[in-house]
Structure 1
Amino acid sequence: MRLLIVFFALGIASCQLQANLQPWLFCLGSAAALVGVAMVLPRKPLRVATLWLAMALFGFAYANWRAELRLADRLAEHLEGQDLQLRGRIVGLPQVFERGLRFRLETQQAPAGVPATLMLSWYAQGKGELRQMPPAVHAGETWQFTLRLRQPHASLNPHGFDYEGWLFEQGIGATGYVRSGPGNQRLEDSGGGLMARVDRWREQIRSRFERALPDAAGRGVLVALAVGDQAGIPSAQWELFRMTGLTHAVSISGLHVTLIGALAGWLASWLWRRSPRLMLCLPAQKLAILVAALAAGTYVLLAGCGVPAQRTFYMLAVAALALWSKRAAGASRVMAAALLLVLLIDPWAVLSAGFWLSFGAVAALLLVACQQSAAGRASWRRLVPDWLRAQWAVSVLSLPLLLGLFQQFSLISPLTNALAIPLISMLITPLALSFAVLPLPSLAEFAHWLLEGLLAFLAWCAASPLALWQQAAPPLWLVAVCALAALWALLPRGVPGRAVGLLSFAPLLLWAPLRPAPGELDVNVLDVGQGLAVHLRTAQHDVLFDAGPQYGPEVDAGERIVLPWLRAVGARKLDLLVVSHDDADHSGGADSVLAAASPAEWRSSLAPGHALLGFFSPHQACRQGEAWEWDGVHFEFLHPAEGFSGKDNERSCVLRVRSAQGSVLLTGDIPAAVESRLLQEQAEALASEILIVPHHGSRSSSTPEFIRATAARHAVFTAGYRNRYGHPAPDVLARYVQAGASIHRSDADGALLFRLRAGGIEVDPFRQTHARYWHDRTY
C-alpha cells in the first residue's frame, strides 16, 4: 500500500512538469484499464508493477483534473487593465508596507471572468509628508472596490523563484490594485465562516504583539511563531537565519506542532487522572490522544494552514486514530498516509521547497528513531547523543535537497539547530502562544528577551567566514542520486556500503557547470521586470552590466534575481560590474550586488558624490575608447567620452562585446541624441548580432538610422509586463521587424540566454523552453 501511494505521488509530481495539460479523462480510463490488466496477469511481479503504473496514472489524471479546474478560474484576458467594480471579503492577514496595503480578496459579486481569489495592493496617495495611507482593512470585512486587474505574471529566470507558480498554488487567479475614488467603501465589518473568524483572531493576536512590543527587533519572529505571519521579519534577520540554517525554525513547522500537541495531551492526561470518576468514563490515554490532536489542529489553523504544519497534523491525526482504535500504525504507514492526504488536498504542494524538506527531515528522523528503538529502551543518558544523532541525520539528508533548491547550506547548522530548536520549540514558542491566549505583556517580553539572546548567538556564529557553503546548482539527476545515497548512509550498522553513500557527496559538492571555451561568449539577459541586468560570461571571467531595479525599501533585483542567478551558475566573484547610469531600474540592485558579489572593479557614469561611490571601491568612470580583452573576447566602451555632460540617460555607458562568433551591444537608456553622436563618431563600431535595445524600446530612442547601423539579428527589449510607460512602443517594434531583426521581449520570453558558439548563436527564451502549464503566455 505504501508503494502504491508513492507511485500516486510520482504521478502528481510528473503532472507539474508539463507545459500543457493532458486530457484527464483519457488518463483516468487508461489507469482503470491497467488495473483490469493487472487482475488477469498470471505472475505476481508483473501484476504488482502494472498496479504501480496504474496508480501513477491515477495520480497524473487527478492532478490534471484539479489543474484544469484551477486554470478555469483565472482572469479573462479582455478584463485586463479595465476598471472593474466588485464586492468581496478580506481573507488572510492584510499586510502593511511602505507604499500602502496588500491583501487577498474573496470575490462575492463580480463581473463574469473575474476569479474567486485576488491578490491586491492599495497604494498610498501623495509623496513625502503629504503621503496619505489608505484606510485600514481587516480580515473578514466585506468591501466594495474599484479595481484594475491583470493575469498572474512575474519575472521568470533559471533557478529563480517562480512567483506565478506560487500564485497558482495559492489559488490566486489575478493580481491588481485598488483605484482611488469614492467607490471604495466598507460594507460589513465582520462575517464569513470558520476561517474568517480564525483570520480575525490571528489579526487580533498580531495587533496584541504590536502593542506589547512596539519597537522590539524580534517581534516579527514571535508573530511568525504564534500565527504564521512572516511578513514582519526583516530581511536582515532572514539572512541571519539562512546563514545559520534556521529558516525552518522560525516557521510553524512539524516540530512545533508536534510539541504543542504533546504538551497539551500530557497536561490533559495529568489533570484527568486526578478524578477517578472521569477515569471510569474515559481512559486518560484516550483523552490525551484526543486533546493532543485537537491542540495540534488548533495550532495549524492559527498558523494559516502552511504545508509543513498540515503535513504534521495529518500524520498526528492518522497516528491518533490508530492509537484510539488500538491498532498498530508503523511510522512509514503514518508518513505515507500523510503524503496521500496532503496531495489529495493540495496536489501543488510538490512545487514547494518546504514540502520536500519537511518530508525529507521526517524520513531522516524515522530512520534514526527505528535504530534507537532497536538499540534498546531510551534513557536520560542517551538523550544528548540521540539528539545529536538526529541532527546529523537531518543535516545529511537535507544537504542534497538544499543544494538542489537553493545552491547553499549552512555549515554551522548542526550547532545552531542543536541549541536553537529546543529553545524555540520548548520555551519561546510556548511563551508566544501563551501570550496569544493570555494578554500578559510579561509573557511576550520574556519570550523576546530569550529571542534576543538567541539572535546575538546566531550573529556571532554567522560572522565566521566558513558559516555558509555556496556553489553552482547541481543537475536534478545528481541531487536525486545523492539523496538516495544519503538515505543509504543513514541505514543501520551492518548494511554494506554505508560509507560509500557519504562519498557520493563529493561530485555534488564539487559540481561546476561548463563555461564557454576561449573565444566564446554567453550573454544572459535576466528577466528583472522594467529594468536591465545582463550577465556576460567568458571562459574565465564574469561581467554584469546593470543590476536591475529596486522593488521596495528592502527588496531589489540584485538580491532577489541577480545574486541567486550568479550563485547558481557558479560565478563566485564578478570581475567587473558596470552600472550604466543613475536610474532606479538599472542601478537599483547595485548596492546588493556590490556588497555580496565583491566585484574586482566596477564602472559607472554616476555623478560624483553618489551614495554608491562612498561605500564601494575600486571604481572608475566609463570612458569612450577604453578597451581590453579577456579569454579571446574583446570589450570596449563606446560612450560616454571624457568630459561629456548631460542628463542621466544621456550619460549611459555603452559597451560593445565582440567574440569570434558575433558581438553584443549594450546601450543603457541612451536617447536619440546620443545615438546620433555615436553614428557620427563611430558608426562602424555599432554593428552587432545582438542589440539590447536602448531605453527598453522607448520612442525617445531607436531611430531608423541607428537601427540600420547596428544591423542586429536579435533585438532584445527588456520591459516589465504591462508597464506604465508602454514600453516597447509599437512603432519602435515595427522598425526592428522591418529591419529584419528577430524580436525578443523579457516580458514575453522571461530570461533570454544567448550562447555564441562556433556553430552560431543559440537562443534560449526561458518562458518558452521551460514552460509550465500555469505560466502566462499572453503574448
Structure 2
Amino acid sequence: MDDGQGRPLRLGPLPVAAFCGGVLWQLQAGALLPLAVAIAVLGLAVGGAVFLRPRLAWAVALLALASGAALAALHGHRALAQRLPATLAGEGLLVELRFEGLPEAGEHGLRGLARIERVLAGPPGAAEALDGRRVSLRWHGHGQGVRPGERWRLSLVAEVPEGARNPGGFDAARQALALRAVASASISSAQMPLRLAPASGMDALRDRIASAIATALGEARGRFVAALAVGDTRGLSAADWERLRQFGLTHLIAISGFHVGLVAGLGAWAVRGLWWIAPGLAQRWRRPQAAALACLLAGLGYAALAGFSLPTLRTVAMVGVVALVSSLRSHVGPMQALALAVASIAALDPFALLLPGFWLSCGGVAWLAWSLPGITSAVDLRAFLRAQWVASFGLLPITAAFFLQVPLAGPLANLVAIPWISLVVVPLALLGTLALAFAPGLAGLLWGMAAAAMDALWWGLGRWPPALGGGLYWVAEPSPWAVALALLGVAVVLPPLGWRWRGMGAVLLLPLLFPSVSRPLQGRVEAWVLALPRGEAVLLRTARHEVLVDTGPAGGEAVAALRALGVREIALRIETAGNAGRLGGVARVEAAFPVRERWHAPGQAPAGALPCERGRSLVLDGVHIEALAPLPVARHGVASPCVLRVRDGEGRELWHASEASVWTARRLPGADVRQVGADASRSMERVPARAVIGGPGAVLAWQQAMEASHAVATRRPGPARLRHWPADAWHPGREGAVYLAAAGSVEGESGWRLRSWRALQGHWWNGQGG
C-alpha cells in the first residue's frame, strides 16, 4: 500500500505548555536557579518520566514544568559564562572576524553580527573569551563596502550588552541572548581595517540574489521582492515599516513560516507529479516518505535563503517531525506536529521564547489548529475568512505584549494581504530566484511581476478608506498575568467553545487592552527621569495627571517610554531650556499626545504657550507646581533656565534645576540655600524632605546648597565628571531610567525613595558579565 499509515503518534498540548511555562518562568525570574539545583531538578524530572512513567496528566505536567525551568537555567548559566567578562569591557582588541547575516549599512554606519575567528592582540584572557564567539557589531560612519560573509581584520572595543534603559525600550542584553552574542562591539580606528577574504557562504549568496533584484528592478521597487525572496529587509525605510505596523502586516514581509510551508508543499506536489509520471518509482520508494523528504529539503533550502529566521525554523521543525513519523509509518496531526516542534525549539534554544517571532509564528498555527480543526478543503471561502479572523484576533495579545500596539485595521487588511502576498507575490519572487541560475532575463521578468503585484497592494493600503479604521491603538507595558489572562480569553472567545462563554473571554482581554497604570495617591507625586541619548526628559505623575518636563532629543525614545508608562494625555508640558537635547523631541511628543497647557523655555515663544518664569504655577491633584526662575525680565540680556519646585501635599519638595547655577538658587524664594559660615545657625531648623533633579553640572551643587536628601542627574555625566561622581548621587547610566517616589514615614518625616528601571525589571540577564 502506497499511502497506508501506522499507529498515530500522540503528544498532547498540556505537557508542551507546561514545559514552555517552566522555561518562561525561569527566563522572567530575577535570578537563575543555582547550577547544582538545576542539574538535580532536571535529573529528577527525567528520571521520573522514564522510570515512573506517570499516567496522571497533572503528574506529567509537573515533570514537564520542572524540566523546562531546569533546562532554561542550564542554558542561562552557560550564556552568562560565555558573556564578555567585565574586566575586558572597554578594552581595545585586534581581531579577525567574519560578518554573518546581512549587515545593514546606513547613513550612520554599519551594524550587524560577526563571528570572531581569532583575537590577535588584546589584554590577557581576551582570546579565551572571544575566539569563535559571536558579537553584535557597529561601525560608526563606515562599513558601506562590507559584504556578508567577508573576513576582515579590525580593531574594536567590546562592551557587555546593556538591558533596556527605559520602559518600552530596546533590551540589547535580551536580544544578545537570543542571538547568542556574547558582547556588543564598535569598530575603532586604532588599526587600519583590512579585508582578508571575499564573501562566501549562504549569506553571500543571499546578498548576491538581493543585488541582482536591485539591479533588475531598482532598489526602491525591488525592496519587497528582496525581502520576500531572501529575507533582505535592508531596503525598507522607516515609512515602510510604519505602514506595515499600521495594518499589522510586518509578519508577512519578513519570510514567514507560512511561506516556508508553501514551498515545502510545492516540494511534495513535485514528488506526487513525478510518481504519477513514473508509477514504477512507488515500487522502490513509498510515495508518502518521498513526499515528506521533499517537503523537508524544499523547506530547509528556503529557510537557508531566509537566514534561518525563527519562523522558518519552526516550520522546518514541523515538517521534519512529519517526515520522521512518516518514515516510521506513523502519522501525526497538526497539533501534535506543532507540539513536537515547539518542544524541540524550547529545549534546544529556550531563549527563542524571548522573541516575538516565536510567539507570532507558533501562536498563529496553534490558534488555527485549536479553532478550525475540521477544515479539509483549501478552497472553502467560508473557512478561509474564518482563518483570517482567527489569525488576527488570536495574535492580538502577542502583538500588544511585545509591541505595545494593536493595529485597528489589521483584520481587514490581512484578509486581502495574506492571500495576495502568499499566493501571488511570493511564488513569483521565488520563481524568479530559481530562474536566475539559467535565465536571468526570465528572472527579471518574474521579479518585475512580483514587484507590480506588491505595488498594487501598497497603492491600495495608501488609499485605505478612513471609515474602515486605521492607525494604532497603544497600550501600556502589560504584566505577565495580563498577557496570560488575555491568551486564556482568546481561547475562550474562539471556537470550539460555545457562544455563552465568549462574553467571559472578552472580559479577560480587558486587563491587557486597558491596563491599570500605577499612580501615586492624592496629594503625592512621582517622577521618571528617562535615560535618553544626548538629552533629558522627566515625567511627573500625580493621581490623575501627567506633566512632562522637557522632551529629550529628536530620536523619539521619550515617546516610546511615555507610551509604555501608559500616558494618554499630557496636562502640562514644560520646557526648561532652549537646547536641542531638551526640545528636540517636541514635534514627536505633540504628534503622539494631546497637550492641554504649555510653559515655554526662556527665549522661546511658540504659539499658545505661556512663558516659564517666576510666578507661574499650577495645582494638580493636590500637588503644587511652580516656576521660581527666571525673572520675567532677564538680567544682563541672558535668560537663565526655568527652575521648578514641585511640592506635594505632605511637604516633600522636588526641585528641577535644569542647568541653573547655585548663584540662581541663592536668589530663589523659599530655597533655604545654605550660606558659608551659617551652618551653626541653621542646625536646629527643620529642612523639608527634598530631592533635586538637574543637569550633571548643576545637580550636585544644588544638592549641597539646599541640603537635599537625593540628587538625580537628568543625563549620564561625561567621562571626566563621571570619574569623580559620588556613589549616593543617581544618574540614568547603565541602570537605566530613575524612578523617584514618596517613601514611608520615618520618625515623623517622610522622604523620597529611588529605584532604577533595571532594578524594577529584575531580569537575571542584566548582570555585568561573567
Range of TM-score over shorter length: 0.7 to 0.9
Residue 245 of structure 1 is matched in structure 2 by 248
Asked if the contact 2:292/2:319 (under 8 Å) is kept, the reply is: no
Whether 1:678 and 2:678 are equivalent positions in the alignment is: no
User: Is 1:389 aligned to 2:386, yes or no?
Assistant: yes
CA pair 727-168 structure 1, distance change in 2 beyond 3 A:
farther
| Secondary structure of 1:774's aligned partner | helix
TM-score normalised by length of structure 1? 0.85
1:222 Cα shift?
Answer: 2.9
Contact 2:103–2:148 (8 Å) recurs in 1: yes
Q: How far does the alpha carbon of each residue in 1:122-144 deviate from its partner, in whole angstroms, 9 at most, with x for none?
A: 223xxxxxxxx456122222211
Deviation at 1:185, TM superposition (A): 0.8
Q: Relative contact order (C-alpha < 8 Å, sep 6+): which is higher? A: 2
User: Within the alignment, does 1:598 sit opposite 2:594 as a pair?
Assistant: yes
Q: Identify the residue that residue 265 of structure 2 maps to in structure 1.
A: 262
Match among 77, 81, 92 for residue 101 of structure 2 = 92
What are structure 2's unaligned runs of at least 5 residues? 1-10, 674-686
SS in 1 for 2:523: coil
Q: Give, in whole Å, the separation in 1 of the partners of 2:53 and 2:268.
A: 50
CA distance in 1: counterparts of 2:386 and 2:54, whole angstroms: 43
1:148 is matched with which residue? 157
In structure 2, relative to structure 1, the CA distance for the partners of 1:414 and 1:497 (3 Å cut) is same
Question: For the Cα contact (< 8 Å) 1:148–1:176, is it kept in 2?
Answer: yes
C-alpha change, 1:509 and 1:767, in structure 2 (3 Å) is closer
Determine if the alignment matches structure 1 residue 29 to structure 2 residue 69.
no
CA distance in 1, matches of 2:381, 2:421: 17
2:101–2:203 CA contact under 8 A, matched in 1: yes
* CA–CA separation in structure 1 for the residues paired with 2:611 and 2:222: 44
Once residues 345 and 622 of structure 1 are traced to their aligned partners in structure 2, the CA distance between those partners, rounded to angstroms, is: 58
Task: State how far apart, in whole Å, the 1-side matches of 2:53 and 2:497 are.
Answer: 39
Amino acid aligned to 2:643: V
- Aligned residue pair count: 725
With over 3 angstroms needed to count, the CA separation of the structure-2 counterparts of 1:654 and 1:442, relative to structure 1, is farther
Question: Which one of 525, 531, 535 corresponds to residue 527 of structure 1?
Answer: 531
Q: 1:545 aligns with which of 523, 531, 549?
A: 549
Q: Deviations over 1:351-401 (max 9, x none)?
A: 11222232221111102331435xxxx384xx2211111122223322233
Taking a change above 3 Å as real, the CA distance of residues 618 and 448 of structure 1, as seen in their structure-2 partners, is farther
Report if the CA contact (8 A) 1:748-1:778 is conserved: no
Task: Name 2:188's counterpart in structure 1.
Answer: 179
Deviations along 1:727-776, one digit per CA (max 9) or x if unpaired, are: 64343x34xx6xxxx43232143222222377543433221232222114
Equivalent in 448, 452, 456 of residue 449 of structure 1? 452
How much does 1:702 deviate? 4.7
Output the amino acid matched with 2:428.
Answer: L
Paired amino acid for 1:26: V
Alignment correspondent of 2:729: 743
What secondary structure, in the 3-state scheme, does the structure 1 residue paired with 2:626 have? strand
Amino acid across the alignment from 2:135? L
In the alignment, which residue of structure 2 is the partner of 1:59?
A: 68
Tell me the C-alpha RMSD between the 2 structures.
Answer: 3.1
The yes-or-no answer on 1:754 pairing with 2:740 is: yes
TM-superposed CA distance for 1:190, in Å, is 4.2
| Cα distance, 1:88 vs structure 2 | 1.5
| Partner secondary structure for residue 327 of structure 1 | coil
Counterpart position of 1:327 = 330
Question: What does residue 717 of structure 1 align with?
Answer: 713
1:152/1:776 contact within 8 Å kept:
no
The question of whether the paired residues in 1 share the 8 Å contact of 2:224 and 2:451 is answered with no
Which residue of 1 is the match for residue 489 of structure 2? 485
Match of 2:110 in 1: 101
**Partner of 1:127 in structure 2?**
none
Distance 1:43 1:468 in 2: 48
Cα offset for 1:658? Answer: 1.6
Name stretches of at least 5 consecutive residues in structure 1 with no aligned partner: 125-132, 192-196, 551-555
Map of 1:766 onto structure 2: 757
Could you tell me whether the CA contact under 8 Å between 1:5 and 1:340 is conserved in 2? yes
The residue type paired with residue 351 of structure 1 is: L
SS at match of 1:101: strand
Q: Write the letter of the residue equivalent to 1:62.
A: L
2:570 aligned counterpart, secondary structure: coil
CA shift for structure 1 position 43: 9.0
* Cα distance between partner residues in 1 of 2:343 and 2:38: 19
Secondary structure of 1:434's aligned partner? helix
Deviations 1:657-677 (A, max 9, x none): 22124122223334xxx4313
Q: In structure 2, which of residues 625, 642, 658 is the aligned counterpart of residue 668 of structure 1?
A: 658
From 166, 169, 172, the equivalent of 2:178 is 169
- Tell me: CA distance 1:625–1:442, structure 2 relative to 1, closer, same or farther (3 Å): farther
Residues in 2 aligned to 1:106 and 1:25: alpha-carbon distance in whole angstroms: 31
The within-5 A match list for 1:99-248 is 99-110=108-119, 111=122, 112-113=125-126, 114-115=129-130, 116-124=133-141, 133-134=142-143, 136-190=145-199, 197-214=201-218, 216=220, 219-248=222-251
Contact 1:690 1:712 in 2 (8 A): yes
> 1:369 aligned to 2:372?
yes
**Alpha carbons of structure 1 residues 225 and 626: separation in structure 2 relative to 1, 3 Å:** same
> 1:684–1:709: 8 Å Cα contact kept in structure 2?
no
Amino acid in structure 2 at the alignment position of 1:17: Q
Partner AA of 2:600 in structure 1: S
Alpha-carbon contact 2:137-2:184 (below 8 Å) kept: yes
| Equivalent of residue 766 in structure 2, options 739, 756, 775 | 775
Does structure 2 conserve the Cα–Cα contact (< 8 Å) formed by 1:206 and 1:223?
A: yes
Among all aligned residue pairs of Structure 1 and Structure 2, give the percentage whose two residues are the same amino acid: 29
Which of 556, 562, 580 is residue 566 of structure 1 equivalent to? 562
2:644 corresponds in structure 1 to 655
CA contact (8 A) 1:167 1:173 kept: yes
Residues 225, 252 of structure 1: 8 Å contact kept: yes
Structure 1 position 301 matched with structure 2 position 304: yes
**Contact in 1 for aligned 2:229/2:426 (Cα 8 Å):** yes
Moved more, 476-485 or 250-259: 476-485
Q: Cα–Cα, structure 1 residues 201 and 684, in superposed 2: closer, same or farther, change >3 Å? A: same
Cα distance in structure 2, aligned partners of 1:43 and 1:418: 45
Q: Could you tell me which residue of structure 1 aligns to residue 577 of structure 2?
A: 581
- Is residue 273–residue 284 contact of structure 1 (8 Å, CA) maintained in 2? no
In structure 2, relative to structure 1, the CA distance for the partners of 1:503 and 1:176 (3 Å cut) is: closer
What's the secondary structure of 1:532's corresponding residue?
A: coil
Q: Deviation at 1:34? A: 5.4
Distance 1:715 1:229, change over 3 A: farther
- Counterpart for residue 612 of structure 2: 622
Check conservation: 2:476, 2:564, Cα contact below 8 A: yes
Q: Within 2, Cα distance between the matches of 1:462 and 1:86?
A: 55
**Is the Cα–Cα contact under 8 Å of residues 92 and 104 in structure 1 kept in the other structure?**
yes
Residues in 1 aligned to 2:633 and 2:447: alpha-carbon distance in whole angstroms: 60
CA shift for structure 1 position 314: 0.7
User: 1:424 offset after TM fit, Å?
Assistant: 0.9
Q: How does 1:726-737 map to 2 (within 5 A)?
A: 726=719, 728-731=721-724, 733-734=725-726
Aligned counterparts of 2:53 and 2:233: Cα–Cα separation in 1: 56
CA shift for structure 1 position 155: 4.1
SS of equivalent to 1:5 = helix
CA distance in 2, matches of 1:689, 1:219: 62
Q: Shift of residue 221 of structure 1?
A: 3.1
Deviation at 1:693, TM superposition (A): 4.5
- Indicate if the aligned counterparts of 1:273 and 1:279 stay in contact, CA closer than 8 A: no
Contact 1:74 1:174 in 2 (8 A): yes
C-alpha deviation, 1:82, in angstroms:
2.3
On the 8 A contact 1:520/1:757 being kept in 2, the answer is no
Q: Distance in 1 between matches of 2:642 and 2:106?
A: 34
1:345/1:272 CA distance change after superposition, 3 Å: same
TM-superposed CA distance for 1:57, in Å, is 2.5
CA distance in structure 1 between the partners assigned to 2:769 and 2:343 by the alignment = 35
Summarize the alignment of residues 459-478 of structure 1 with structure 2, pairs less than 5 Å apart. Answer: 459-461=462-464, 463=466, 467-478=471-482
Whether 2:41 is the aligned partner of 1:15: answer no
Stretch deviating more after TM superposition (540-549 or 749-758): 749-758
User: Contact conserved, 2:692 with 2:703, CA < 8 A, in 1?
Assistant: no
- Whether contact under 8 Å (1:240, 1:462) holds in the other structure is no
